[in-house]
A and B are shown apart, each in its own frame.
Chain A
């Protein structure tokens, strides 16, 4: 069975206590000035509304498309978007490529960092810190492909009422689902591919063509050498014989 870890959020339950943000910061040693998750204030039906969020472990992650080395990748085993810190060179391409601003560059580790659904806690059988600590249980975490899990049940039973917060120009198919309604909705920005990365993608077929043409030139020379039996080389040795 395919696994897709995801978060289902009933944002109407959120009281903006920020316990999820703090517990995340402590559990993951997130440095000063940086956050792996957030609560965004908005208004729904004339009332104040709070929307918890974090990396949405998208199905079509633009951050993965912006990473040249594959340090950021979508793990097919659990459907999460991961960062291999040992392979990340800290180029920062992925940061503007995320419509949600979910990524930052870790000032000490000097690599990209973001929510990993608390991989360390999950390895010990715990829920992500934000889910565990939420006093109103606004966040539900689990495998939405497993109909037995609570996340799977909520996902299945609320199919027509699931809301994905997306930027219309870059819908990355996030795996963060809000139940029934949420606000604000207009905050994700358009994912931006860094210019250098775009030029590199454009240069790739050109370079491949250049190397291919050079290879053809070499083959043409080799063809002549084989057909003419050494070509000018043999002619020259003849000339030498005359000279000396």
Chain B
């Protein structure tokens, strides 16, 4: 029974995940390179110099970043148009938070991941984690940040793009603040991205989750342990373990 697979992601989900991953990293890299001012440059002078050298100047870099940004938004438009139900399911699951279950999970999980179950016992906590649904609270928190940050990036990016294409001087204040919003959204999502990539690609316990982003399916026992509530929903009734 443990070899049975459960479907977790359809083809569109897998497409948008990797599409977003590639473009997000590229846009972060080129976006950071567009910052060339020591007061607001988090990486230092070498990063903008490197990219402007590769692309033959800041003007080219700006065009490349803008084109990639438009492609990124169009990819999401296509995803929403072709997979409306999948997107609605994703958003519903991501924003459905049960504080009684999810807050203890979110507090305990980082302790478990760094100090282990012994660390939780040492802190006087029950080492078992509350059961989680289709997404665990960590995934939900990152997805919420990615959705909110993505909307912020797209809107502020559109304002900046419009600024030097169509907008008049009255929009200067909007554009000046859009730069700040763009920067903060990217920075916050990037901090979450570090944890996301570690959990998915490096931590062993989530390995089936990574594979499911290629195959679309997870083994049943992985689903039972990591997404108990979802497992019970799709497998019909409580699992035999309880």
With A87-B62, A217-B114, A228-B116: A240-B225 Cβ-Cβ less than 8 Å: yes
Which A residues touch B117, using CB under 8 A?
232, 235
Q: Are A231 and B113 in contact (CB under 8 A)?
A: yes
Summarize B's interface: helix, strand, loop or mixed: helix
**B38 smallest CB distance to A (angstroms):** 9
Q: Are B58 and A69 in contact (CB under 8 A)?
A: yes
Instruction: Scan residues 18-51 of chain A and give those whose CB is less than 8 A from a CB of chain B.
Output: none
- B147 is an interface residue with CB less than 8 A from chain A: no
**A203 smallest CB distance to B (angstroms):** 6
B-binding segment of A114-122, A142-150, A193-201 = A193-201
A-binding segment of B11-19, B81-89, B179-187 = B179-187
Q: Are A207 and B36 in contact (CB under 8 A)?
A: no
- B177 is an interface residue with CB less than 8 A from chain A: yes
In the complex, A121→B41 CA distance in Å? 35
In the complex, A90→B177 CA distance in Å? 12
* Total A-B contacts with CB atoms under 8 angstroms apart: 172
Q: Are B194 and A92 in contact (CB under 8 A)?
A: no
Which A residues touch B188, using CB under 8 A?
207, 210
Q: Are A215 and B194 in contact (CB under 8 A)?
A: yes
**A152 smallest CB distance to B (angstroms):** 31
Q: Are A88 and B164 in contact (CB under 8 A)?
A: yes
Q: Are A91 and B176 in contact (CB under 8 A)?
A: yes
Which B residues touch A233, using CB under 8 A?
203-205, 207
With A232-B205, A243-B241: A211-B198 Cβ-Cβ less than 8 Å: no
- A111 is an interface residue with CB less than 8 A from chain B: yes
Q: Are B164 and A89 in contact (CB under 8 A)?
A: yes
- B98 is an interface residue with CB less than 8 A from chain A: no
**B60 smallest CB distance to A (angstroms):** 8
Q: Are A225 and B204 in contact (CB under 8 A)?
A: yes
Q: How does the 8 Å CB contact mask read for A210-242 relative to B, with 1 for contact and 0 for none?
A: 110111011011111100101111111001100
**B239 nearest CB neighbor, chain A only:** A243
Q: Which of B114, B176, B202 contacts A194 (CB 8 A)?
A: B176
Q: Are A105 and B62 in contact (CB under 8 A)?
A: no
**B183 nearest CB neighbor, chain A only:** A200
**B43 smallest CB distance to A (angstroms):** 9
Q: Are B198 and A204 in contact (CB under 8 A)?
A: no
- B100 is an interface residue with CB less than 8 A from chain A: no
Q: How does the 8 Å CB contact mask read for B20-60 relative to A, with 1 for contact and 0 for none?
A: 00000000000000111101111000001000000001111
Q: How does the 8 Å CB contact mask read for B46-81 relative to A, with 1 for contact and 0 for none?
A: 001000000001111111000000000000000000
Q: Are B184 and A231 in contact (CB under 8 A)?
A: no
Q: Which of A64, A84, A215 contacts B59 (CB 8 A)?
A: A84
Q: Are A221 and B177 in contact (CB under 8 A)?
A: no
Q: Are A217 and B195 in contact (CB under 8 A)?
A: yes
In the complex, A240→B207 CA distance in Å? 16
Which B residues touch A111, using CB under 8 A?
164
Select the residue from A95, A197, A234 with max chain B CB neighbours within 10 A: A197
With A203-B184, A204-B42, A232-B205: A92-B116 Cβ-Cβ less than 8 Å: no
Q: Are A211 and B113 in contact (CB under 8 A)?
A: no
Q: Are B58 and A91 in contact (CB under 8 A)?
A: no
- A65 is an interface residue with CB less than 8 A from chain B: yes
With A69-B37, A204-B40: A91-B175 Cβ-Cβ less than 8 Å: yes
- B167 is an interface residue with CB less than 8 A from chain A: yes
Q: Are A204 and B39 in contact (CB under 8 A)?
A: yes
Given A93-B176, A203-B180, A243-B240, output 10 extra A-B contacts at Cβ < 8 Å.
A68-B37, A69-B35, A87-B58, A89-B175, A90-B163, A91-B179, A110-B164, A199-B180, A207-B183, A207-B187
A-B contact pairs, 16 of them (CB 8 A): A71-B58, A85-B59, A87-B58, A90-B163, A196-B176, A197-B180, A203-B183, A207-B187, A208-B42, A211-B42, A211-B187, A211-B191, A222-B202, A231-B205, A233-B203, A233-B205
Nearest first, the 7 closest Cβ-Cβ pairs linking A and B are: A86-B59, A70-B36, A92-B172, A233-B205, A87-B58, A207-B187, A233-B204
- Which residues in A have some Cβ–Cβ distance to B below 8 Å? 64-65, 67-71, 73, 84-93, 95, 105, 107, 110-111, 194, 196-197, 199-201, 203-204, 207-208, 210-211, 213-215, 217-218, 220-225, 228, 230-236, 239-240, 243-244
